[in-house]
Amino acid sequence: MPCRIEDYGLIGDCETAALVGRNGSIDWLCWPAFDSDACFAALLGTEKHGRWLIAPAGEVTGTSRRYWDNTLILETRFETTDGAVDLIDFMPPRGKASDVVRLVRGVRGRIRMHMQLVIRFGFGIDIPWVKKSEDGSALLAICGQDMTVLRTPVETRGEDLTTVADFEVGEGETVPFVLTYGPSHLPVPKPINPADALQDTEAFWTEWCSRCSYEGEYRDLVMRSLITLKAQTYAPTGGIVAAPTTSLPEKLGGSRNWDYRFCWLRDATFTLLALTNSGYTEEASAWYRWLLRAAAGSPANMQIMYGIMGQRRLLEWEASWLPGYEGAKPVRVGNAAHAQLQLDVYGELIDAFHQWRVVAKLEMDETSWAMECAVLQHLAEVWDQPDHGIWERRGEGRHYVSSKVMTWVAFDRGIKSAETFGFKAPLEKWRVLRDAIHRDVCARGFDPELNSFVESYGSKMLDASILLLPSVGFLPPEDPRVRGTLVAIERHLMRDGFVLRHDPREAEKQPAEGAFLACTFWLADAYVLSGEFAHAQELFTRVVAIANDLGLLAEEYDTAAKRQTGNFPQALTHIALINTAHNLSAARSTEKPAMQRSK
C-alpha cells in the first residue's frame, strides 16, 4: 500500500515532479512532463504499478527527513540497529535530459541496503523491455516512446520483471543512483556526475530563494510554499499546475478523484499576488505570458483550465487497471470540467491583467487590452446565464453568487484600467452593467433570513467562495451583509476549526469531503480586512499546524481521520498560505493588506 498522503515529499526539475515516501520509495513520477503518463504509479495502486525503493534491508528503528535549507533537495535519515544512513533525493535543473538522483550516504556504522526499481510506463500497465547499454555502463528500460537509463556502480539483477540490488554502505561512503529519461528513438542520454549535479541543484535553489523579498515572521513557511510553487511551474511556458498528481481522493475511499496536472484560470490573480508580493516578478511575467497565450482566441471558447503548454482538449478517461489510492476509484486521467462554463474565469482574467498593471507594474503585451475588451463584450451577453461555479459542479448549471460577483469584478477592473491608463473603452456601457450586476447579486444572492450571501440564487445553502466578496472589493468588509456572511460561514461551514467549501447540510446530495484548506485561509483574509487580526492569526496557525514535517499541504484535510486528502501538494493551498502570511504581516505594520484586490 502507498504511504499516507502527508508522508510524501516533493522533488522536481520545474518540468515534472516526483513524490518520495517516508519509506524511501518514489511512488509517483510522470515523465518527461507533469501531464505525461506516469512511470511510477504505486501511489494509485501497488508496487507492481511502478516504484523505486531504496531503504535499509533490515529493521528501521527510526526515520526523519528534511529539505536542505532553501532547496528542493530531500534528505531522509534511516536509523537501524547497525547504524544510520541518509538517502538524498533530488532532480537537477533540467538540462538536455531529465534525471532523478538518489545518493545513499553512510552516517554511522555499516548498513545493508536494498534497491527495487519497478518501471511501468503508461500509468502502471506497460512493462518495458530491459537491457544493458552497448558499453555495459547502464541499464535501459524501453517501451514505445519512452526510455529510462539507470546508472549506478552497484551490481543489479532482474527478479520477477523488476530490477533489484543489495549493497552495503559504511560511514562516510556515498553510493549514487541516477535514473534518466529520454525518448526511445534518440541516442541514450549522456551520464551526469552525481556530485556535480548535487552542487548545481543546491546552487540553483539557493540563488532562487535569495530573491525572496518577504521578511516577515512566517518567512520559513512562505519560502517553502514559494519553492513548492516554483517546483510546480512548467519552466518552458510559465504554466503552473494545480498539483503534480491525479486522483488523490477528496474523501478517503470516495469517487471524487480528479486530475489536477493542469493550469486553472481560477488561480490567476492569487498566483500573481503571491509571486509579485514576494519579489518574483520574473515568474509572474512568465505566468502572465502563459495566461495571455492560453486565453487567446474567441472569448466564447475561453476555458477554466488549460494544459501546461496551453492545450485545450483535456479529455477525461479512466485507468481501470489501477485500484486507486487506498481503493478510491476511479482513477481519472484528463479533466472533463475543462469544457464547463464558469463565468468567474472572465473576472479572474481581467482582474489579473489589472493587477499586473497596477500592483506588479509589469510591461504587458500590447494585444492584452484588445483581448480584455473582447472578453467584456462577450461577458456582457452571457453574465446572466447559469454556470457550474468555481468548484466545477457537474450536472445542471446554477446562478452561483461567486460567479456573478466575478463578472462584476471583470467590469469593475476593466473600468479602472481604462480610467487609470487612458485606454479606449465603452465606459458608460460597462458602468451600467457593473451596477446592474451588483444590484442583481445583492437582491438575489443575499438571504435576509440567514443574514448571509448564499451559494446560488434561491438557495439556502452556503459556499466558501463567498468569503472572497470583501477581498475582491464587491462590498466593504464592514458592510453588515459581509459581517453576517462571516458569522454564517462560521456557523454552518466550520468543522473542527476548518472551513468546508460545500455546505454539510447538503450532504445527502454531495458526498462529504475534507475541509478545503485554501478556504480557511480565505476566512483569515476576510478577518484581516475586518480588523480582527487575532481571529485571523488563529485560523492561519491552525492550518499551518497540519502541514507535514516538510511544510507541504494537500488540497483538503479530513478532521476526523486527521489526514491530508486530495491532490498533493496543492498549489492553491500554498498560494493562499503565502497571501495570508503577507496580509498578517502587513496588518502588523499597518500597511494595506496584500489581498485587497480592488485597487
Predicted confidence (pLDDT) per residue in 444-493, tens digit: 999 999 999 999 999 999 999 999 999 999 999 999 999 999 999 999 99
Mean of pLDDT over the chain: 94
Q: Is the pLDDT of residue 65 over 70?
A: yes
Is the preceding omega at residue 330 within 30 degrees of 0, hence cis?
yes
Buried b (16+ CB within 10 A) or exposed e, 507-522: eeeeeebbbbbbbbbb
E strand or H helix that includes residue 118: strand 98-118
Using 50, 70 and 90 to split pLDDT, how confident is the model at 594?
very low
Let me know the angle formed at the C-alpha of 225 by 220 and 227, rounded to the nearest 5 degrees.
95
Distance, in Å, from the CA atom of 167 to the CA atom of 56, rounded to the nearest integer, reads: 10
Query: How far is it, in rounded angstroms, from Cα 112 to Cα 266?
Result: 49
Q: Is the pLDDT of residue 592 over 90?
A: no
Q: Which helix (H) or strand (E) holds 317?
A: strand 317-318
CB atoms within 10 A of CB 433: 21
User: Which residues are registered as beta bridge partners of 131?
Assistant: 140
pLDDT for res 598: 61
Helix ranges (DSSP H) in 39-127 = 121-124
Residue 20 has a pLDDT of 98
Contacts of 534 (CB under 8 A, 6+ apart): none
Q: Select from 13, 25, 8, 10 the least CA-distant residue to 197.
A: 13
Q: Mean pLDDT across the stretch 189-194?
A: 96
| Residue 506: predicted pLDDT | 76
Place of cell 479606449: 424
> Among 115-129, 304-318, 391-405, 522-536, where is mean pLDDT lowest?
391-405
Say how far apart CA 198 and CA 521 lie, in whole Å.
35
With beta carbons less than 8 A apart as the criterion, state whether 89 and 100 touch: yes
| Nine cell digits for residue 304 | 477554466
Q: Which three cell numbers stand for residue 105?
A: 550516504
Answer whether residue 508 shows pLDDT above 60.
no
What would the pLDDT profile of 247-264 be if each residue is shown by its tens digit?
999 999 999 999 999 999
What is the radius of gyration, based on Cα positions, of the chain? 25
Q: How confident is the model at residue 365 (pLDDT cuts 50, 70, 90)?
A: confident
- CA 237/CA 290 separation, integer angstroms: 6
Q: Note the maximum CA span of the chain.
A: 78
d(C-alpha 437, C-alpha 452), whole Å: 18
Instruction: Report the pLDDT value the prediction gives residue 553, as an integer from 0 to 100.
Output: 98
Please name the residues in contact with 223: beta carbons below 8 A apart, sequence gap of 6 or more.
70, 209, 212, 214
> pTM value?
0.96
**Assigned C-alpha cell, 174:** 556515498
**What percent of the chain clears pLDDT 90, i.e. is strictly above it?**
87
Average pLDDT over residues 193-215: 97
C-alpha closest to that of 55 among 99, 81, 21: 21
3-state helix, strand, coil in the chain (%, to 5): 35, 25, 40
**What whole-number distance in Å separates Cα of residue 299 and Cα of residue 313?**
16
Positive/negative CA dihedral, 512, 514, 518, 524: positive
**In the numeric block, which cell numbers belong to residue 487?**
458569522
All three cell numbers of 309: 503548454
Read off the pLDDT of each residue in 42-61 and give the average, rounded to a whole number: 97
